[in-house]
Amino acid sequence: VHSDLSQEKQRILANTYTFVKQELSGETSGHDWWHIHRVVQMARRLALAEGADDYICTMAALLHDIADEKLNPSKEVGMQRVNDWLDRQHVQTEDREQITYIIANMSYNGGNNPPLPTIEGKVVQDADRLDAIGAIAIARTFVYAGHVGDMMYDPDLPVREQMSAEEYRNGRSTAINHFHEKLLKLKNRINTPSARQIAEERHQYMEQYVQRFYEEWEGR
Ligand code: ADP
Ligand code: NI
């Protein structure tokens, strides 16, 4: 419910909800509609706490994975899908620029992207990252590994410490290595104080999980 927004913006939000739900509901790589749903809820919670614009944050959160490289032939094709949608909904030029800027620049990209400049960007990026830290993140990571045919763990495959955007995209990994290559690093890349608090707790839980995984692996 966004009851304080104009009729026009409420219409755009409602249509975008339906559109994204339809587009991503069959997705099985961990970027499905329910991921979007969680990111939207978290983005709105953070937006309220941080004084960011609710409409921009919700729209960017809703559309952020419609453009994802992993779900499209290329990043450009993905961004075109977002632009076409905003066009069809007659989103105001200024809002549109804000939304597409966030979506095009928010991804982790192997840690190679700089933090986003606007508070709305920071909020949406944090919301997406919080879904990659904690209990649900653990599940998503194993689902993703299964989806692309990676193993859950292989002690012979070393953790890649520093990666270019290219290596991050194309190199093979395992679910457990992904914790070290990305997930356990996210806590230090959170933008806003409200998100940092949540990240801190979820991070601890994830760290304990990885610890126990290794203990059981060793037969302890
Ligand atoms: P972003 O949304 O920041 O671009 P990704 O789409 O790359 O991040 O990743 C989203 C989630 O998908 C990760 O948090 C993780 O759970 C899962 N994932 C991505 N890449 C891998 C991988 N190589 N191995 C296991 N899980 C992955
Ligand atoms: Ni996402």
Return the domain boundaries, the chain. Answer: 7-217
Other residues' Cβ atoms within 10 Å of the Cβ of residue 135: 11
Is there a contact between 177 and 62 (Cβ–Cβ < 8 Å)?
A: no
Other residues' Cβ atoms within 10 Å of the Cβ of residue 10: 15
Of 111, 100, 93, 89, nearest to 64 (Cα)? 100
Assign 111 a pLDDT band (cuts: 50, 70, 90).
confident
Q: What percent of the chain has pLDDT over 90?
A: 82
Tell me the fold of 7-217. Answer: Hypothetical protein af1432 (1.10.3210)
The pLDDT score that the predictor gives to residue 167 is 78
The pLDDT score that the predictor gives to residue 70 is 83
Of 194, 188, 197, nearest to 57 (Cα)? 194
The pLDDT score that the predictor gives to residue 190 is 97
Instruction: Read off φ and ψ for residue 174, nearest 5 degrees.
Output: -125, 165
Q: Is 132 in the pocket of ligand 1 (CB under 6 A)?
A: yes
Distance from residue 160's CA to the centre of ligand 2 (Å): 22
The pLDDT score that the predictor gives to residue 175 is 97
Instruction: Spell out where 42-149 has E strands.
Output: none
Does the structure's ipTM exceed the value 0.90? yes
pTM score of the predicted model: 0.94
Distance from residue 163's CA to the centre of ligand 1 (Å): 14
Is there a contact between 157 and 177 (Cβ–Cβ < 8 Å)?
A: yes
User: Tell me: the pLDDT tens digits for 20-69?
Assistant: 999 999 888 878 999 999 999 999 999 999 999 999 999 999 999 999 98
Is there a contact between 39 and 106 (Cβ–Cβ < 8 Å)?
A: no
Q: Which residue of 106, 182, 191, 206 sits with most ligand 1 atoms within 8 Å of its CB, as the best mutation to test the pocket?
A: 182
- For 201, the token pair is 């707790």
Distance from residue 209's CA to the centre of ligand 1 (Å): 18
User: Tell me: the pLDDT tens digits for 148-177?
Assistant: 999 999 999 989 888 787 777 777 899 999
The pLDDT score that the predictor gives to residue 172 is 81
Q: Is the pLDDT of residue 105 over 80?
A: yes
